[in-house]
Structure 1
Amino acid sequence: MQTIRWGMIGCGDVTEVKSGPGLYKSAHSALLGVTNRTLAKAESYALRHGVSRVYPDVAALLADPEIDAVYIATPPAEHKALTLRAAAAGKHVYVEKPMAMNYDECKEMMAACQAAGVRLYVAFYRRAMPRFLQVKDWIDQGAIGTVCTVSILQRQKPAPEELSPETLPWRLRADVAGGGKFLDMGVHVLDMLAFWFGPVSEVHGQAGNRGGVYAVEDTVTATWRHANGVTGVGSWCYVGHDNADRVEITGTQGRIEFEFFADSPLRLVTLAGVKETLVANPTHVQQPFIQSIVDDLNGISVCPGDTQAAAQTSAVADSILDSFRRKSY
C-alpha cells in the first residue's frame, strides 16, 4: 500500500482544522511539506502541525520528487494556474472549492490533468461526511417515496469585518473569489444536490446587491431541474437581519428537513411520524473525503467526488450570476 505524500500550497484558516490534519491523520497519507505566500506563516504551520518540510515557494514544492499529490488551499483566483503547474510537474491535485473562477477555467484544469495523466479532485468534501450520506441513504432507500422537489433557504447577517473596505475578506472580492458568499457557501449546496439527484439540466437565477456593504452579489434566487425530474428552488441572502439555514426535500411519502451548515439533527417526516437523527460532524470535516482520495489513488475504492460534477457546479453558478456579473464587473 502506497503512502500518498502531500505538498500543501497555502496555510490559511481552512487548513488549520478542517483540512490540513486530514492529510496526515488519514491512513496511508502524509503531509510532507507546505508553502505559503508568506514564508513565516508556512514555518509556523509546519512547526505546529509537525510537518517536516517548508518550501520557499511553489516551484520548490513542485520540484520535490517525493511529493505525490498537491493540496491547493488558496483563493479561487489562483486555482487554475496552480493546478496547471502541478499537473505539468506530474502531481495529483486536490483543489479547494469553488473549483475555479468560472466554468471555462474548470475545463482548462480538467484538460491539463487528463493530458498529464494525473488525477484532479475538488474539495466538495461533504460527499463523504456521514451526515450527508445519511440523507442520501434515506433518499436512495425510498424513505420519502419519489422525490419531487427540494427547497433551500440561507440567510446570514454580515460579519463586522464585511462592513468596511479596510477589513473586507477576500471571499467578498470578485477579483480574488469570482464573486461573493454564494461561491463560497452556496456552491456546497449545489454540489450536494448533484450528489443526491444527479446533474442539473435547466437553471434560472437572479443575483443582486441589496445591502450595499460590498460590491459583489449579496442576494441570490434560483430555480432548477435535475435530469431525473427533481425540481428545486433556492434563496440566499447574506445581508439579512438574522441567520437561517433550511433544506427541505419533499417526496410523495414524506420529507427530509435539516440545516445544511449546522451540526443539528436531521428530521425524517413521514406518515409514521417524525424521526430525528443526530449525526455528528467529524473533528476534521475534510478527513473522510481526503481518506477517500487516498484510497482512490491506491485503487482500494472510488472517491465519491466527481470532478465533472464539480465543474458543472461552477457552470450552474455562472448561469445564476451571469446577469449580475455583466452589469457589475
Structure 2
Amino acid sequence: MTDALSTLPEPRHPDPADAPPLRWGVLGPGGIAADFTDALHRHTRQRVVAAGSRSAERAAAFASAHGVERSHGSYEALVSDPEVDVVYVATPHSEHLEHALLAIAAGKHVLVEKPMAVTASEARRIVAAAREAGVFAMEAMWTRYLPQTDIVRQLLEQGALGDVRVVTADFGGRVEYDPASRLWNPDLAGGALLDLGVYTVSWASFALGAPAGIIAAGTLAPTGVDDQVSLVLSSADGAQALLSTTLRATTPSLATISGSEGRVETDSPFWGPSGLRVFRADGTLAAEWRDPYGRPHRDGMAYEAAAVARYIAEGRTESPLHSLAEAVDTLATLDEARRQVGATRVE
C-alpha cells in the first residue's frame, strides 16, 4: 500500500485543446460567464458564438468585450440561434430551472451552472426534460473535471486510501451584507449553502456517495437565508463527512479524504486547480503533486467545457463522472440542510 501512495497516478484528462470544437451560446452574460468564455477561448477550440440577455445593450457589451460573434436581446433568441450547439446557463441559480427548460425545449444541449437548480424537485424537472428531448445535460461542477480530482478519483478506485472513514471540506467567503443582493435575497435563492456549500457537499458525494444521514446546524441572516452552516453527513457504513460554509468569513477552502491506509489533503482552493499531498497511515508524507498546467483559478473551467464537447461527440446525454442523479442527490442534501437550519426556501 505504501508503494501505491508513494507513486501517484497521472491525471487521465487529455489537453482541453484536443476536444472537438462546439459552438456555445452564453445565457446570462455576468461575471462567471465572462470567466467561462475567456477560459474556453484561451485553452480550448470551443468558441462562444453568441451571448443572450434580457438587455440587448448588455449582451452586445459582453460580446464586444469577450470576442463573441453575435449578441441577442432575449433568451428566446439565443436558444433559437441555429449556430448554437450548446447553451451555458449562467444566470443566478434562482433562474436555472426556467432557462434550462427554455434551452432544452429549443433542442439545445445544456451546461447549467451549479447548483443545477434551487431544489431537488426543480433539478428533477430539468433531468426529465433533457431525457425526453434526448439532449445532453450537465451541472457545471467544474471541480470534478480538474486534473487533481482525477488523481484522487484513481486513488479511490484503487483502494489506495483503504477504508474511507472521514471526509472534510470547507468553503467560506466574507460578503458584505446587502439584503437586495443575490447572496442575501431569498427571492434570488440566496444563502451560503446554495452558492458555496454546494462545492463541499459535492466533494462529500464524490468520496462517499449520497448520505444516509444528515445533521445541519447554522445561523440565518436577517433576510432568512442561511449565512453559516456546518454539516455532518453519514454513509450507511458509518463514514462521515464534516463540512462547513459561511458568508461571514473567508475560510481555507481545503478538503481531505482519510482512510485506514492513508489520507489525501488538497491545497487551497480545493474547488479549483491547485495541488494535493498524500500521507500514509502513520502520518508520514508519501507524495505530493502541484498543478503544472498553467490554467489557474477559473481558467480551470476549460476542463469541464472540453469534457462536455467530448461527451456530446460520443453521443452521451450525461456525464459519466458526475451524473444527473448525483446532481439531484446533492440538491436533496442541501434541501434537508436548509430545512434543518430554518432557511427561507424557494420552491
2:217 matches 1:206: yes
Please tell me whether the aligned partners of residues 127 and 304 of structure 1 are also in contact (alpha carbons under 8 angstroms).
Answer: yes
Match of 2:251 among 243, 258, 265: 243
Question: Which residue does the alignment assign to 1:150?
Answer: 167
Question: Which residue does the alignment assign to 2:73?
Answer: 56
Please tell me whether the aligned partners of residues 148 and 275 of structure 2 are also in contact (alpha carbons under 8 angstroms).
Answer: no
Cα RMSD (Å): 2.7
Match of 1:268 among 278, 291, 294: 278
Question: Which residue does the alignment assign to 2:289?
Answer: 277
Deviates more, 1:126-135 or 1:143-152: 143-152
Please tell me whether the aligned partners of residues 6 and 23 of structure 1 are also in contact (alpha carbons under 8 angstroms).
Answer: no
Match of 1:197 among 204, 208, 213: 208
Q: Distance in 1 between matches of 2:284 and 2:302?
A: 34
Please tell me whether the aligned partners of residues 34 and 54 of structure 1 are also in contact (alpha carbons under 8 angstroms).
Answer: yes
After the TM superposition, which residues 66-81 of structure 1 pair with which residues of structure 2 at under 5 Å, given as runs? 66-81=83-98
Structure 2: segments with no counterpart, 5+ residues: 1-18
2:58 matches 1:10: no
Aligned residue identity for 1:65: P
Please tell me whether the aligned partners of residues 207 and 321 of structure 1 are also in contact (alpha carbons under 8 angstroms).
Answer: no
Question: Which residue does the alignment assign to 2:199?
Answer: 188
Aligned sequence identity (%): 27
Deviates more, 1:248-257 or 1:212-221: 212-221
Q: Distance in 2 between matches of 1:128 and 1:328?
A: 30
Q: Distance in 2 between matches of 1:124 and 1:51?
A: 24
Please tell me whether the aligned partners of residues 224 and 344 of structure 2 are also in contact (alpha carbons under 8 angstroms).
Answer: no
After the TM superposition, which residues 156-171 of structure 1 pair with which residues of structure 2 at under 5 Å, given as runs? 156=173, 158-159=174-175, 162-165=176-179, 169-171=181-183
Question: Which residue does the alignment assign to 2:4?
Answer: none
Q: Distance in 1 between matches of 2:263 and 2:145?
A: 22
Aligned residue identity for 1:9: L
Q: Distance in 2 between matches of 1:123 and 1:137?
A: 21
Please tell me whether the aligned partners of residues 182 and 190 of structure 2 are also in contact (alpha carbons under 8 angstroms).
Answer: no
Q: Distance in 1 between matches of 2:165 and 2:129?
A: 38
Aligned residue identity for 2:205: A
TM-score, normalised relative to structure 2 = 0.82
Aligned residue identity for 2:29: C
1:189-210 superposed Cα distances (whole Å, 9 cap, x missing partner): 211322233232332223322x
Alpha-carbon shift at residue 229 of structure 1 (Å)? 5.2
Structure 1: segments with no counterpart, 5+ residues: none
2:95 matches 1:84: no
Q: 1:263 to 1:72 in 2, by over 3 A?
A: closer
Please tell me whether the aligned partners of residues 207 and 320 of structure 1 are also in contact (alpha carbons under 8 angstroms).
Answer: no
